[in-house]
Structure 1
Amino acid sequence: MNKNYILNTILATEDDAIVVIAPDCKVLFWNDAAVQTYTIHQDEIIGKPITDFFKDEDLLLLYVLKTKQPVKNAYHRPREDKHVVINSAPIYNDNNELIGVVSIDRDVSNIVRLNENLLSTSTELNELKRKIYMNKEETPFSKMKGRSPALQKTIRIARKVASTDATTLILGESGTGKEICAQAIHDASARRDGPFIPVNCGAIPEALFESELFGYERGTFTGAEKQGRAGKIEMADGGTLFLDEIGELPKKMQVKLLRVLQENRVFRIGDSKGRRLNVRFIAATNQDLEKLMNENKFRSDLYYRLDVIQVKMPSLRERTEDIPELANYFLKQFAAQYQMPVPLLKEEVITQLVAYKWPGNIRELRNLMERITVLAENGYINWEELTQHFNLLRKKVEQKRITDMSLLQEKEELEKERIIQLLEKYNGNKSVAAKKLGISRVTLYKKIQQFKINTR
């Protein structure tokens, strides 16, 4: 089999743009992903100087060609509408003569735009919530539904925290409502008119962390916005920065965040003077940070800076008396959203909902109530229909089937469920899911095919 055919097929199949230029800057290779990323066909660009299509200052390839130094995981902006993460290196022949440069560009434009849209939407929502609170006899903590002692204890602590600027750490399992609690603390504080900037530390590619959190000065690197750009920390000036999944913050960024907390000053990339800040920090995690400290994955000095006040969000298992109220609240919410009648839950259904362990907590209950609203017939749903349509008590119903499985089958079943959970959590982002699973993207793709997981 001709190895060139194999190599060409591999390069054509790769999702990332792959570009090769010669020492005279003429393009030698331009794969299909490069066509998709930069909307320039191979017939137009191959054999021509790449500088005919891009400005010199926007080409990281020229920097590598000039310095003969490789670049790893560098955030780059070759065009106004394109954000990429680049790995680039010089190419040498057997005589150690430079014969070109290769660049592999991963398009992260959608991630950057999504972050910007989320920030804009968050600001608009904050303003809308502020107006609602002014017109209704509600408090910011009204969204934390439930009357259980466990939740009320959390709300009492959160109210006290809101009256101060103390750095706060919110602990709790995934799906317990940590961001809702952080938003309530902000809305009840003296900073309510300032911005509330949420940052999911588990959803930002590591190469983008520094520019996203700290921003950069103009002219800092090739492709940067000409006027520079403020990071999320700077955008929160006068308000609150919410760092969700703080345990996912890379060690390098932990050092920089600690400096901000100590000095109340943020340093953009390329800035040696820094900018004075007035930001309230709230962090949240579902991980055991003390364990991460012992494993040298989380800095102890940062932990103690964040853990001034600790707020614990109880799991749904610890507040089962709130389940009927929460279920009905979500049913009414989705019935209004989809313009459908509010389904009635039979008493037997309520009993079983309370008995269920809810590993996904409120998020899992909310998703179930949405499905019930859409699929319920005759205005109500009984237990038989619930188990038939939603498989709620999977662990109880399938107990015998799981017991009869071989160890290998049970392992594969657990693997499949874990992959599905992470793909749902990160909106189908396979790179992030693979990172959380501790496997490569290639391995994840193989397992998706093996388990016939629908990723659409």
Structure 2
Amino acid sequence: MKNASNYLDAVLSMEDDAITIINQHKEVIFWNEAAVQTYNIKESDIIQEQITNFFHDDDLMVLKVLDTKKPVQGTYHRPRKDKHVVVNASPIFTTNNELIGSISVERDITQIVKLNDNLLTTSTELNELRQKVYTDTEENPFSRLKGNSLPLQQTIQLARKAAKTDATTLVLGESGTGKEIVARAIHEASPRKEGPFIPVNCGAIPEALFESELFGYEGGAFTGAERKGKTGKIEMANGGTLFLDEVAELPLDMQVKLLRVLQESIIYKVGSSSGKPINVRFIAATNQNLEQQMVEKQFRSDLFYRLNVIQLTMPPLRQRLNDVPELAKLFLKQFSVQYEVPMPTLEKDAVEALFQYQWPGNVRELRNLIERVIILSEESVIKKQDLLSFFHSSSAPSNLAETANNHSLVQEKEAMEKKRIEEALEQHNGNKTAAANQLGISRVTLYSKLRKYRI
């Protein structure tokens, strides 16, 4: 029996976890080397001593199980202010079920906790630094609208002015022209930049859910409603900006309620008779002709005029073809990093093909095309024929080939003339007199050509 005890002592001494055994009188009868290392208390100093001489009663799990006679498993514990452990502890009974002591096995996780604390601190500092870097490098939120073409720069100039006010803004433009990007830029360049920017796609909300989504509802307002109620998108944007994308899709009854919010700055939740004041800046966007919809009684004229305090029109890509090479290069770099592949270059004839296409899907279509090129192409240099194979439109490749092969001399001359006029206007910041002098034509002739080329 004595040998068995020696064997057991040897096994317990080899454990990496601190092991403590006390008797029913709270005296320490076993203290292994791991316990010595964990608590810096020599075995000779603690054996046969009251464990409470070295630790506070409340800090000892081994005492707790001695009192409760119930084991604990995998419990986080702090026996000292400077120690963090995961402890398993159990009472010890004789074969006659007599309590004679308790044992605890404690795994020291102090370094792990400290590392985790440092990680949390570092993460917080990193987030603060990231925000500072973002603020420093993104002083101009409109820098995300890439391109130097005159139509885009004119829109950006107007958007900058809109950002300085709380005026309701209506952003018009074809699908894929960047309406949400300019809306976000207006918000981030405005005094409301610290507040939320809440986008709502009006075309993606079922008609029956519009009111609860926009205005929220009180608890139990209708069958299936959450008991605590729900906060609507308008209230979520309080102190910031609400972006209503595809606003032409709003049902007529919701147009009336939105108009009331714009007029009174008060919202009424579904199921509530009391209004709540809100402080929200509204930006709406659509690719539809709202004036035509007003004629057809599809869109309320009073709401249109409320939304149309400042109107921005995002130019389609075909009106800013000079920006295509810059955008293409940007997307090549972006997707080569995302998909971890070498960045290819565009051959001159491929760039010319991009110029010749009309881009009905606008910047979004160009972006998707470049993403397909990065994913599917294995060439380091993208030539025109390579590029044509990645167009989804069945007519695009043939149109481009036909344009490249059969471009008439008149069309080439007009394209070049339009490009020269745009460049001259850009160089002189839109000054038409200076641009006409540079081009060697009169202002009357310049205005005529501006109308002709819809510049």
TM-score tier, shorter chain, comes to 0.5 to 0.7
Percent of residue pairs bearing the same amino acid type:
62
One-letter amino acid of the counterpart of residue 226, structure 1:
R
- How far apart in 1 are the matches of 2:130 and 2:301? 36
Quick one: distance in 1 between partners of 2:350 and 2:393?
A: 11
User: Could you tell me the TM-score, scaled by structure 2's length?
Assistant: 0.58
Alignment correspondent of 2:324: 323
Q: How does 1:128-277 map to 2 (within 5 A)?
A: 131-136=132-137, 138-277=139-278
Deviation at 1:218, TM superposition (A): 1.2
CA RMSD after TM alignment: 2.2
SS, match of residue 202 in structure 1: helix
Give aligned pairs, total. Answer: 276
For residues 207-229 of structure 1, the C-alpha deviation after alignment (integer angstroms, 9 at most, x for no partner) is: 11111011001121122111111
Quick one: which amino acid aligns to residue 289 of structure 1? L
In the TM superposition, residue 358 of structure 1 has moved relative to its aligned partner by 0.2
Contact persistence 2:356–2:400 (CA under 8 A): no
Q: 1:210 to 1:128 in 2, by over 3 A?
A: farther
- What does 1:361-376 correspond to in 2, within 5 Å? 361-376=362-377
| AA in 1 matched with 2:243 | F
**By how many angstroms is 1:271 displaced?**
1.3
Q: CA deviation at 1:135?
A: 3.5
Structure 2 letter corresponding to 1:362: V
CA 129–244 in structure 1, closer or farther in 2 if over 3 Å, else same: farther
Which of 301-310 and 384-393 deviates more?
384-393
Alpha-carbon separation, structure 2, partners of 1:385 and 1:137: 36
Does the 8 Å CA contact 1:151/1:319 hold for their aligned counterparts? yes
User: What TM-score do you get using the length of structure 1 for normalisation?
Assistant: 0.58
Measured in 1, the distance between the counterparts of 2:326 and 2:146 equals 8
Q: Which moved more, 1:391-400 or 1:214-223?
A: 391-400
Q: What do residues 312-338 of structure 1 show as CA deviations (whole Å, max 9, x unaligned)?
A: 100001100000000000110111111
Deviations 1:249-275 (A, max 9, x none): 000100100000000001100111110
- For the pair 1:380 / 2:381, whether they are aligned, the reply is yes
Indicate the SS of the match to 1:226.
coil
Correspondence for 1:356: 357
Aligned to 1:418: none
Which one-letter code corresponds to 2:237 in the other structure?
A
1:368 is paired with a residue of what secondary structure? helix
1:393, distance to aligned residue in structure 2 (A): 7.4
User: Aligned AA for 1:228?
Assistant: G
Deviation string, structure 1 residues 275-328 (Cα, Å, up to 9, x no partner): 000000000000000000000010000000000000110000110000000000
1:47-66 to structure 2, matched below 5 A, reads: none
Q: Distance in 2 between matches of 1:270 and 1:156?
A: 44
Structure 1 residues 400, 329: CA separation in 2 closer, same or farther (over 3 Å shift)?
closer
Aligned counterparts of 1:147 and 1:287: Cα–Cα separation in 2: 26
Q: Tell me, yes or no, if the aligned pair for 1:356 and 1:393 is still in contact at 8 Å.
A: no
Quote the offset at 1:389 in angstroms. 3.7
Shift of residue 137, structure 1, vs aligned partner: 5.4
Aligned to 2:297: 296
Rg larger in structure = 2
Partner deviation per Cα, 1:25-84 (whole Å, 9 max, x = no partner): xxxxxxxxxxxxxxxxxxxxxxxxxxxxxxxxxxxxxxxxxxxxxxxxxxxxxxxxxxxx
2:389 alignment partner, SS class: helix
In structure 1, how many angstroms separate the alpha carbons of the residues matched to 2:214 and 2:337?
37
Inter-partner Cα distance in structure 1 for 2:224 and 2:138 = 50
2:432 matched residue in structure 1: none
Which stretch of structure 1 is more off in the superposition, 161-170 or 265-274?
265-274
- Which residue of structure 2 aligns with residue 37 of structure 1? none
Structure 1 residues not aligned, in runs of 5+? 1-125, 402-456
1:372-423 CA-to-partner distances (Å, cap 9, x unmatched) read 111222312111112234356724617999xxxxxxxxxxxxxxxxxxxxxx
Distance 2:289 2:129 in 1: 35
